[in-house]
Structure 1
C-alpha cells in the first residue's frame, strides 16, 4: 500500500475533520493525481534546460536522462504537448518512483527540497479538487462562472497545477472555483485621495468620498490581518479559474489581490499595472477594431490601489458582454469539457481563428499572453468558433517600432510592457498561444501538428509566421523557474516544432 507523503496525509487528516464525506473519494483520486503531476514533471525533465541534466538519449522504448552526477533517469518518450496523464512511474538508477515529490527529493538537486514540497501540495490539492466533482451536465452552462469552474486540473503543463500552499483544506473548499462556492468579498473603505485610481470606479463600490475596495477573504485574514465580520455587508461572487478573480452575478468581474503563491506566482496587483490599466484598455479597444470583428477585449472599468499591492482591485467587463443570441463565451482552458476539440476539423477552425488574430496583432506591434485562461472563444449555437475574447492586459507586450511602421500611435506606456525585442514578442505570443492554448486544446503533438498543418499555408506570410513554421516553439521553463529562486523574470525552454519534426 502506498504510504501517504506528508502533504497527502495532512490533507487527508484535515478532510476527515471538515468534510469526512469526501475522504474515501480523495484517497481514490490520489494515484491519478500523482500520475498527472508526474507527467507534467517528466515533460519538464525531458525538455527544459536544467543544468544538472547532462544529456538526453531518446530511444524507441523511451527516454533516458543522464544526470551530471552519473545517475540515469528513465521514463517513456515525452510528448511536450500531451495533456493526458501517461507517466505512472520513472526509474532513477533502477528504482521506480510513482510520486513526483519523492522523485524530486531523490534527485537531490539545488532547491529541489522546496520544489518537492510544492509538488506534494499539487498532488494533494489536485486529488481534493477531483474528489469534489459531481460530474458535468450534458447541457452547456449558461453563465460565465460555470464554464470557469469546469476546469478542475488547473494548468495543463505545470507540475504545480494545483499547488496552493498556505491554503487549508477548508479554505480550498471555500474558495477554489472547482468546488463551486459562493465567496463573499469584503469591501474595505479607503479615502479616494489616498488611492491611485484609474478609470471610473463603480458607484456601487463607493461610500461617499471613500472607495470600497473588494478584498478576498483569504487576503483579509492572512495578509491584511482583518478577518471579515460575518455580520458585515460584502459582495457575493463566484470564483473564476484564477481563484482571485470572481464574477459578480449579472455584473462585472473583480480581480482581487491575493498574496499567495498559486502555481508559480504571488498574486498581488502592482501599482504599475493599476497605473497603466486604463491606457492599455483604451489602446486594446482601438486595436480590436482593426480585427474585422474577430476579436473583442474586455474593458477595464476601474482599477484602484491603496498604495499597496496587497490592497488593490481591478473591475472589468464580463467576457459574456460579447455573446450574441445563442452563443457561449468559453475560456480556452475549458474547451476540453465541451468535447469539441476531438474533431480535427473543429480544432483546425479554432487554430485558424486564433493564429489569424494573434499574428495580425503581433505584426501590428502587440503580443498577447493568450494562454487558456486569458483567451476565450465565442461559440455559435452549433459549436463553431466565430470570435475571440481576450482579458487581462497586464502582461501584454507592445512594440513602438512595429506600431510606427503601421502608423499606429503609441499610447503613454512605460516599463516592462514596452519592448521592440523580437525574441521577447514572439516568446510572449507563441509560448502562450501555440505551446499553451492551442497545444492544451489539442492534447497531443500529433493533434497539434494536424491543426497547424491545416492552416499555416492559408495565413498571410509575415516574418513571424515564417519563424513559427521553422523554429522551435518557446515555452516558459516552469519547473526550472521554481528551481531557480534567485533568478528573476521568466526562463524559457525550446520545444520541438510539430511542423518540423515528429514530437512523440
Structure 2
C-alpha cells in the first residue's frame, strides 16, 4: 500500500478494528448455526452462546442474531482465552484428527482467507471518500457503493491472488475504470450461444472479452487485444461498458467468497435457451418482473476463457426511474424505513413465490435481484439478472400447462427441497434479511410481505426456519461437491 497509495495508510489502520469485528461477526454466525461436525453442542444463555467442541474445548460469545448485518462481535473466548481476529481463532481451534490431512489444510487455507478478507475489507473502507456524497445517478454507481461485500460470508472480501494495486485498480468499491481485453479465438474452436455481435468478431475469429487480471495471471501467452473501458459492478468480474451497451460477465479464476468464478461450457451451451424461456415466463407476471436477456455467450471450451453478454437492467427503467441492485440499498435511507421494507417485501415475495409456483426457483440474492424505484423511492417492479444458477421444475411447469425447455443437467429438478432452498435461501434469508439488517426488522418485513398473499405450500414454508447455505461448512469440507445447507430460526413475526 505504501508503494501504490501511500495516502491510505492512516485510513487503513483506522479501519482495521471495524473490519476485524465485521469478519468475526460473520464467522460467529457460521459457528453458531451451521452443522459443523466438530461442534458437539450449543448452550444458550440470556445474552450469550457457548459451543461445546470435539476434544473438550469451549467457545463462548454473544447471543447471535442470524440476520444482523452490523458488526456486533468484537471478541469470543476459546477456553477462556479472548480472540478478536477470525483467522487467529480458526488457527487456534483444535479439531480432532484435523491437524494433518485435507481437513487441516482446509483450516489453514480458510484462516489465510479470513486474514485476506479482513485486510481487503479494511482497504475497501479506507478507500471511501470522506463526507456526504450525492445520490447515485446510475446503476453502476449504486453497485460501487457496496463496500463490505457479502453480508453474511466470513470471506466477504477475500480476493486471493489480488495485490493491493490490483484491488485498487479493479475492485468496484474503489471506483476504477477497467480496460477489458479481447482474446481472439478461431470460430471453429469456440462454442457460441445466442447472437454474438459483429464488433466482437474479426474475420473467422471470435473476440472473447477477458478481465485484465485473468489475462495477466491465467491466460499467459494468449494474444490479448485492447477492449472497451468499463465500470466493474459489485460482482467484480461483471462490468458495464462506459460507452453503454451490454454488460460483460467474464471468467475470473480465483476464489471470491466460496467459489472460483469461471464460466462453464454448460452455462454457455444453455444460455440462449434459458434466457428465452425465462423472458417468456416473466411476461406472465403482469409487468412486475423483468429478466435481462442473455444476448450472447462464448467459450473457447475452457472455463478460464469465456464470457457472457447481458442486457443492462436499465433497459427496463422508464423516465425518472432508477434500477438498483438490492444489495446496494442496505443501510440506505430507504431501507431504514419500515414502510418501505414492507412494500419491497410484498413486491419481492409476491413475484418470486408466483415464479416458484409456476416452476422456477430464482437465485434472487441482493446481487442478482434489482428493484425499479419511482422518483420518490417507491419500489415498483423487479429486474432479475444472471440465469446461470436458477432451478427449473418440469413437473411444476407441466401442472400449469407451460412448455418445458429442452434442458438437462443441474438446472433441472423437481425436488421440492432443492427448489425452496434455492428460492428462499437467496431471497428471504439473503436479500430481504440483509436489507432489513436484523432479525426483528426482517421478521416485520417478512410478515408484512406475506400478509394478504394467497396461502400455498411454498409460502407456508416461509413461516418456519429458513434455509441458508452453510458457507463455512462448505469451505471446510474438502472433496464435498455442491452446496451444503443449514436452517436459521424463523425471525420474530411482528418485529
Shorter-chain-normalised TM-score: which range?
over 0.9
Q: Which residue of 1 aligns with 2:45?
A: 59
Q: 1:158 to 1:497 in 2, by over 3 A?
A: same
Q: CA deviation at 1:71?
A: 1.4
Quick check: 1:214 aligned with 2:209?
A: yes
Report the equivalent of 1:106.
92
Match in the other structure for 2:197: 202
Aligned partner (choices 137, 144, 156) of residue 139 of structure 2: 144
The aligned counterpart of 2:374 is 380
Deviations, residues 392-444 of structure 1 (Å, cap 9, x unaligned): 00000000000000000001111000000000000000000000000000000
2:484 matches 1:491 = yes
**Aligned twin of 1:8:** none
Residue equivalent to 1:119 = 114
Is the CA contact 2:139–2:325 (under 8 Å) kept in the aligned structure 1?
no
1:41 aligns with 2:47: no
Greater displacement, 34-43 / 490-499: 490-499
**Residues 221 and 227 in structure 1, CA contact (< 8 A), matched pair in contact too:** no
Alignment of 1:145-294 (within 5 A): 145-226=140-221, 233-249=226-242, 250-294=244-288
Structure 1 range deviating more: 450-459 or 31-40: 450-459
Q: Give the match for residue 306 of structure 2.
A: 312
**Is this contact kept in 2: 1:452–1:499, CA < 8 A?**
no
Aligned equivalents of 1:195, 1:368: Cα separation in 2 = 29
Paired position in structure 1 for 2:123? 128
Q: Deviations over 1:110-166 (max 9, x none)?
A: 332211111000000000111100047553222221111000000000000000111
Structure 1 contact 220–228 (Cα < 8 Å) conserved: no
The CA deviation string for residues 237-264 of structure 1, in whole angstroms up to 9 with x for no partner, is 1111111000012211000011111111
**Deviation beyond 2 Å, 4+ runs, structure 1:** 108-111, 135-140, 226-229, 499-502
CA distance in 1, matches of 2:309, 2:366: 20
Counterpart for residue 101 of structure 2: none
Provide TM-score, normalisation by structure 1. 0.94
RMSD: 1.4
Q: TM-score, normalised by structure 2?
A: 0.96
* Aligned counterpart for 1:82 among listed residues 63, 68, 71: 68
Q: In structure 2, how many angstroms separate the alpha carbons of the residues matched to 1:44 and 1:291?
A: 36
Q: Structure 1 residues 207 and 41 mapped into 2: Cα distance closer, same or farther (>3 Å)? A: same
In structure 1, the gaps of 5 or more residues are: 1-14
Is residue 482 of structure 1 aligned with residue 468 of structure 2? no
- 3-state SS of 1:211 partner: strand
